[in-house]
């Protein structure tokens, strides 16, 4: 990546409409316009609401939460690349080639990475992965519609 850029929680909140308990990006640790790429972290703690029911006695981050985290990072990514879309809403339009390779547990730090994107007629597509301890936990292509 070129020059390393980071974002704190205030910048993240200025780009995302999501709020706790449905905000899954803690910090952007690297962002590059050329080549387009972004990396963020999410620290999953035992007090996350979904752990109460998924699963009692064996808490695991639901796969859909990992996909949602990638989608939220995609919004930050695209709004950072194209500031003219900063005030627009993004809706998840599709998930393709999703794979879950290892469980994510309370206490894990998830590193979320997106690289590249395609943009046509208010539809954006990007590919990302979630890593824990340098192991791929999940990966998918994320498709969003911009309203």
The three-state secondary structure class of 50 is helix
Max distance between CA atoms of the chain, in angstroms, equals: 46
Q: Which of 9, 18, 54, 111 is catalytic?
A: 54
9 is catalytic: no
CB 124 within 8 A of CB 140: no
Distance CA 64, CA 74 (A): 15
CB atoms within 10 A of CB 107: 10
Which residues carry out catalysis? 54
């Amino acid at each position: 990546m070129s020059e390393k850029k980071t974002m704190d929680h205030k910048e993240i909140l200025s780009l995302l409409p999501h709020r706790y308990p449905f905000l899954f990006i803690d910090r952007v640790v690297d962002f590059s316009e050329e080549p387009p790429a972004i990396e963020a972290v999410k620290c999953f703690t035992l007090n996350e609401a979904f752990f109460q029911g998924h699963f009692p006695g064996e808490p695991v981050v639901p796969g859909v939460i990992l996909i949602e985290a990638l989608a939220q990072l995609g919004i930050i990514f695209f709004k950072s690349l194209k500031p003219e879309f900063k005030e627009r809403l993004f809706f998840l339009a599709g998930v393709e080639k999703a794979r879950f390779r290892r469980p994510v547990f309370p206490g894990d730090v998830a590193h979320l990475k997106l690289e590249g994107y395609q943009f046509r007629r208010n539809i954006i597509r990007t590919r990302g992965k979630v890593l824990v301890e340098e192991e791929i936990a999940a990966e998918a292509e994320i498709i969003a519609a911009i309203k």
